[in-house]
Amino acid sequence: MTRENNMSSEDDITRIRTDVQDIYDKHRDLLARVVTLEERSNNRDEKIEELKTSISDLKKNIEDKLTGLSIQISTLANASAQKVAGRWEEVVKTVITVGVTALVMWFVGKA
């Protein structure tokens, strides 16, 4: 019976060693997975910050472009209004010239 007890103890020790080795292997594998996940998380955080910066730069660029377009539109609108005003000035000038010329001709015709 001592031999059976002795064998049983050796079997138990072998089984315990195997179990401990399995636990150690699983722990090592899980630790490697955690490290990999942490690296991925850090990379994602960096990429998110890069995206935030890019979006901020893009927003600033769009705002600048819109400001420039607004100025150009205002300039074009004012130029158009100035052209119309200039045309009216020419029309009025022509009407006055024709009127003065007609008066002068009338006075010359009377004389």
pTM: 0.47
**Token pair listed for 28:** 């090592």
Confidence of residue 35 (pLDDT cuts 50, 70, 90): very high
Mean pLDDT across 41-64: 93
pLDDT at residue 37 in the model: 94
Mean pLDDT across 17-34: 96
d(CA 98, CA 96): 5
pLDDT at residue 3 in the model: 58
- Give the residue carrying structure tokens 């899980």: 30
**What is the phi/psi pair of residue 97, to 5°?**
-60, -45
pLDDT at residue 85 in the model: 74
**Which is higher by pLDDT, 81 or 46?**
46
Mean pLDDT across 13-40: 95
